[in-house]
Structure 1
């Protein structure tokens, strides 16, 4: 597992994937590392100050409401009620029962060892949204940024685990200790896979990520993440699920169902054995003939590689594209 030294300048949203990976060239990463080989890139302190850190976190927390689908707490892989850190939001109109975080209670909970998690943090902070959008453009895959915060000395938030998607870890503040183990099953996929846990002493890489560092982990790589005593930490996880052969086959199934009535038929469960045998043979012929159709799989693969959905951008008071209200009279 290779460790590289980042360039000296700060990483900005405009730098996108190339800025996160420097000095590793983006084409080199996409061709030879993406989906297969992890890498650590050591960066200087405050490298991500223009993207995210303690000041930006405090702004987000002051404005955010306690939406359980976005903000939650973890400690030793067990949920800690966020309601213990919240209070009702004073409001004139009785629409729902919104709540917001109380600084004193959140501090107490984090000091006691909890980890704060904010999912989709890029939706709440424009510079991160710009970075995520730029990286999506390079990978041609949707991306989500999750934020993890602890005050140092926190218990292990999650057990040793693997992710079914690729991740880029940006250590924005403080430090975290990582133990990384190689996959125990090739290309595992969510609930379809149950790879064996790695041996305790089988770590490929063990060490601390500190302020300014980046770690890339392909899916399937096991990892254990622990707080560093006395080192409060803010780190971002940019997660992306790359198009796979499974995505191609799902599109192939849709193509088959649209073009062959046999694929839409019910299974011959109660018919005579001879008829059922003929039916399955006909289905096999359709599947093989379609899969061998020249150019079809390439076409479906290009569709699966169509890139992420466009994130919403608003241009009120005018609809996009903006037109000249005077010139249109």
Structure 2
């Protein structure tokens, strides 16, 4: 069995993202439907997220040659003929991005793109965790820094929903009408027409929501612009059905059989394909099987890599002095899930897990349902030493933190 995901900063984070729009209004009127601009006249609304002063460090300080991808960061500029010039950030002899080259490119009108900033910034990682807890969809964040009178990309569409968080300066967005509603990645247009568009102007502290498929471009004016694009990479109904089909194939050998040799030269046996589809339809009518497919999607959500949320070393240093009266807490927004059978229990979180005998289910559930608690309040058939051992294990695995040792 699987208990629901638990988090305790869902409403706070979504409220901050959408303020003063309510979550109910957003999901009923805008989600997957139409753009939403939120002007706030509050430049400090996103205080705590990276600003202009952090861009240099984010480019240079957290790059690993072993895991670096070609699109981790790059430079892009929209040219007069409408196409975009893109080039990689060069590396110096030590494998570190050449920041002087980046400065020169920025001066020449290139926008700086740092993708997957949630793997580099703890503040952005916290934002992602909280939004994943609210949406139950994967969240990733890219950073865009554009000089004044500049444009990075030509008109394009995204195959995921985005929230644009304006952190510095001003940016003017031109948003057109989609050719395809809620497009799949393969339906994404590389250079969509943008003859007619709606104009949205963002200043620091503003938010723009764009559902996937809406063509758009953005330009700066008299000031530079720094924004984060928060991408909501949704699990579609098609993904759930695909997951269910994979689970069924593990149980039904006919689905694992090869297509007939030379199948491209003639028609496939339609009756056999229909029979396999009927088998899938029958298992989907079983709520237990559908829950298994949903659980499998949840496992992939928990495994999304992000930067560490906070320093854990103070709590690790304090483990020897831990007592039952101590209060511990977990990172706001961190998803937790309890899975259990008649014999064992597992607490899943952030690509990690702790498991043990089934009598741990009440304690695991309490931890998943409470952001902050005293160790002595853990329920279940546990001795004082059992509670201390369990909490110590969860501190060492990065889920819990000693309240008194928070920096």
TM-score range, shorter chain: 0.7 to 0.9
> Does 2:98 match 1:101?
yes
Structure 1 segment 1-150 matched on structure 2, within 5 A: 15-43=12-40, 44-61=42-59, 63-65=61-63, 67=68, 68-76=70-78, 77-83=84-90, 86-89=91-94, 98-103=95-100, 105-150=101-146
For residue 275 of structure 1, report the CA deviation from its aligned partner: 11
- State the shift of 1:23 in Å: 0.7
- Unmatched 5+ stretches in structure 1: 1-11, 90-97
- Cα drift, residue 55 of structure 1: 1.9
Structure 1 residues 263-302: aligned runs within 5 Å? 263-269=255-261, 276=269, 279-280=272-273, 282-291=275-284, 293-295=285-287, 298-299=290-291, 302=294
> Hey, what does 1:225 align to over in structure 2?
218
CA distance in 1, matches of 2:190, 2:85: 22
The DSSP-based 3-state class of the residue aligned with 1:263 is helix
Q: Is the 8 A contact 2:188 2:213 kept in 1?
A: no
Whether contact under 8 Å (1:87, 1:102) holds in the other structure is no
Pair 149,280 (structure 1): closer, same or farther in 2 beyond 3 Å: closer
Q: TM-score, normalised by structure 1?
A: 0.78
Provide the C-alpha distance between the structure 1 equivalents of 2:244 and 2:110, rounded to a whole number of angstroms: 45
Structure 1 residues 278, 235: closer, same or farther in 2, change over 3 A?
closer
Q: What's the CA shift string for 1:249-268, capped at 9, x where partnerless?
A: 11121132122222112223
**Secondary structure class of the residue paired with 2:320:** coil
Residue number among 158, 180, 183 corresponding to 1:185 in the alignment: 180
Bigger Cα displacement from structure 2, 275-284 vs 131-140? 275-284
Contact 1:248-1:300 within 8 A present in 2 as well? no
Q: CA deviation at 1:309?
A: 1.5
Cα distance change of structure 1 residues 210 and 324 upon mapping to structure 2, 3 Å threshold: same
1:174–1:259 distance in 2 versus 1, CA, 3 Å? same
SS at match of 1:122: helix
SS of aligned partner of 1:130: helix
Task: Assess if the C-alpha contact under 8 Å between 1:38 and 1:215 holds in 2.
Answer: yes
State the Cα deviation string for residues 264-291 of structure 1 (Å, max 9, x = none). Answer: 12223469x9994664454344344344
* Offset at residue 163 of structure 1 (A): 0.4
Cα 1:304–1:206 change in 2 (3 A) is farther
- Distance of 1:62 and 1:152 partners within structure 2: 23
Q: Closer, same or farther in 2 for the Cα pair 1:24/1:266, shift >3 Å?
A: same
Q: CA deviation at 1:26?
A: 2.2
Over 6 Å off, 4+ runs: 317-320, 325-329
Deviates more, 1:188-197 or 1:232-241: 188-197
Which residue of 1 is the match for residue 208 of structure 2?
A: 215
Greater Cα offset, 160-169 or 55-64: 55-64
Shift of 1:164: 0.5
The reply to whether residue 306 of structure 1 matches residue 306 of structure 2 is no
TM-score, normalisation: structure 2: 0.64
- Kindly indicate whether the alpha-carbon contact (under 8 Å) linking 1:14 and 1:131 is maintained by their aligned counterparts in 2: no
Q: Quickly say closer, same or farther: Cα 1:125–1:267, change in 2 above 3 A.
A: closer
Cα drift, residue 130 of structure 1: 1.6
- What is the aligned residue count? 300
